[in-house]
């Protein structure tokens, strides 16, 4: 079977660094799904506005390396313990396919066809999307389900501090999304240097920050 993208995702996050490790963790992070020309017809999304969430099947296109071995080290386990690749959501997979559930903000019909605006995606800018399916609560929701090692590791978001002199560079929506992304601590799990400054591209800016005592402090913002 040959598959081809039906759409591409557009996001303020233009590199792998900073991408939320799961969909829904940064609920205010906005993005758009732009269909490929052959699907840019209103009938392709007819009825979609009646749903709240979508499933996206997409490619980890920014991972050039082939899957090595059958175990991975999930960030939730500190990057030190290994589990089977099929017991994880690691981006390093045999077929590099991702699955994400995102909230529909609105479906906009314009001159160039429909554009789907969503929130909470864990996709970087330019990600190819291979299929779009509506989330159906009666079939897709299992609130009592066990979640393996995830149940044993409580994750606490970090406090984020952005001085007004720097936050003014972002729109209200961009700022809300940026704060949620940073609160998830985008650093590699084995990094814990309070003096180290990290950089992350976001909405056309290079956001520089440090992390100390569970607080993320943005120290500089520069145009990319």
Closest CA to 88 of 67, 61, 66: 67
- Please report the pLDDT score of residue 63 as a whole number: 82
CA atoms of 152 and 200, how far apart (whole Å): 30
- Please report the pLDDT score of residue 78 as a whole number: 76
- Please report the pLDDT score of residue 140 as a whole number: 96
Q: Residue 131 to residues 9, 59, 78: CA-CA distances in angstroms?
A: 12, 10, 32
Residues of the chain below pLDDT 70 = none
- Please report the pLDDT score of residue 154 as a whole number: 77
- Please report the pLDDT score of residue 177 as a whole number: 97
Under 8 Å between Cβ of 193 and 209: no
Residue ranges of domains in the chain, CATH in brackets = 7-61+96-145 (2.40.30.70), 159-223 (no CATH)
- Please report the pLDDT score of residue 151 as a whole number: 85
Closest CA to 119 of 55, 30, 193, 43: 30
User: pTM of this prediction?
Assistant: 0.92
Closest CA to 183 of 29, 60, 54: 29
Contacts of 219 (CB under 8 A, 6+ apart): 197, 208, 209, 210
Under 8 Å between Cβ of 97 and 58: yes
CA atoms of 74 and 21, how far apart (whole Å): 10
| CB neighbour class for 46 (10 Å; exposed up to 12, middle 13-18, buried from 19) | exposed
Question: Which pLDDT tens digit goes with each residue over 127-141?
Answer: 999 999 999 999 999
Phi-psi category of 178—alpha, beta or left, where left has phi over 0 and alpha has psi -120 to 50?
A: alpha
Number of residues assigned to the chain: 224
- Please report the pLDDT score of residue 157 as a whole number: 93
Under 8 Å between Cβ of 87 and 163: no
């Amino acid at each position: 079977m040959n598959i081809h993208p039906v759409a591409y995702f557009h996001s303020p996050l233009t590199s792998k660094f900073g991408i939320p490790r799961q969909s829904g963790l940064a609920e205010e992070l906005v993005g758009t799904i732009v269909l490929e020309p052959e699907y840019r017809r209103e009938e392709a999304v007819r009825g979609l506005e009646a749903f709240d969430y979508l499933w996206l099947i997409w490619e980890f296109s920014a991972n050039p390396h082939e899957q090595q071995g059958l175990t991975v080290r999930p960030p939730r386990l500190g990057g030190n313990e290994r589990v089977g690749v099929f017991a994880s959501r690691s981006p390093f997979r045999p077929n590099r396919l991702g699955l994400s559930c995102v909230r529909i903000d609105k479906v906009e019909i314009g001159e160039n066809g429909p554009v789907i605006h969503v929130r909470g995606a864990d996709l970087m800018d330019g990600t190819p999307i291979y299929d779009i399916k509506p989330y159906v609560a009666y079939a897709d929701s299992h609130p009592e389900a066990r979640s393996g090692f995830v149940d044993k590791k409580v994750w606490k978001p970090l406090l984020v501090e952005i001085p007004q002199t720097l936050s003014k560079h972002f729109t209200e929506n961009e700022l809300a999304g940026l704060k949620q992304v940073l609160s998830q601590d985008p650093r590699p799990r084995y990094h814990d240097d309070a003096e180290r400054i990290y950089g992350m591209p976001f909405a056309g800016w290079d956001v520089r920050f440090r992390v100390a005592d569970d607080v993320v402090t943005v120290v500089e913002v520069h145009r990319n």
